[in-house]
Amino acid sequence: MKLTIMGPPGGGKGTQAELLEKRLGIVHISTGAIIRKAISDKTPLGLAAEKYIDEGSLVPDDVVISMVKERISQPDCEAGYILDGFPRTIPQAEAMEGMGIDLDCALNIVVEDDAIVERLSGRRECAVCAAPYHVKYNPPKAEGKCDKCGGDLITRADDVPETIRQRLRVYHAQTEPLKRFYEERGLLRTARGCEELSDTTRNVLEALGVRQ
């Protein structure tokens, strides 16, 4: 099973992808998390990507495509994977088809722009393992600490109001056209994102036809 989860920034892709990873037993691949790790490790990829992330624009297609290519060639991807944040542009989706990768489905999580700003300002991420949290909708058991690894929870540098607006603009201009792309291929499934995490999960499982 190979699937991609699409949706606006802060729409809950990462959180749902984590749950699906457990539920379906296939790996979760977040291009955003890979890029942020590369930035903190100061790798050549990270150095090239940093300015784009900080201003809320997309990292160039060729950079992200080679990164994903490398990641999905690892042995843990043989049984399938959940792509979170990729493809994010039509050229990325075309490149994936060009590599001979046939997705089983493209899941779109729908959230209105107005809800996004509130969600993103409450979002936190584990500095160590990148697990996603939200102070209100998905709080950790111990304040400020990751449930999984005990790492410190931080606010991402791009979760500030001006950058959030830029990311929404980029989403509507460059990522939303992918809905049509996958609809034309008969792969599009849609789930409404809700305030309550468990409601979103129910919609996601229903959209994927997973028994609950």
Write out the catalytic residue numbers. Answer: 13, 88, 123, 156, 167
d(CA 56, CA 157): 10
* Among Zn ion, ligand ADP, none, partner that 53 touches (CB below 5 to 8 angstroms by kind): ligand ADP
Cis check for the bond before 87: say yes or no (omega within 30 of 0): yes
Angstrom distance (rounded) from CA 123 to CA 51? 21
Cβ distance to Zn ion smaller for residue 80 or 151:
151
DSSP state of 72: H
| Helices 61-72, 31-40: inter-axial angle, 10-degree rounding | 100
Find the part of the chain contacting ligand ADP (CB under 6 A) among 81-89, 104-112, 177-185, 188-196: 81-89
In the complex, minimum distance from the CB of residue 127 to Zn ion, in angstroms, rounded to a whole number: 8
Question: Edge-to-edge strands of the sheet including 2-6?
Answer: 27-30, 81-84, 2-6, 105-110, 188-192
- 8 Å CB contact between 122 and 116: no
Q: Is residue 119 near ligand ADP by the rule CB under 6 A? A: no
Nearer to ligand ADP, 145 or 156 (CB): 156
Reported residue count of the chain is 212
Q: Give the number of residues in contact with ligand ADP, rule: CB under 6 A.
A: 18
Q: Which of residues 150-179 bind ligand ADP (CB under 6 A)?
A: 158, 167
Nearer to ligand ADP, 30 or 200 (CB): 30
Considering only residues 47-76, where is the footprint of ligand ADP by CB under 6 A? 52-53, 56, 58-59, 64
| Residues of this chain that bind ligand ADP (CB under 6 A) | 9-10, 30-32, 35, 52-53, 56, 58-59, 64, 85-86, 88, 92, 158, 167
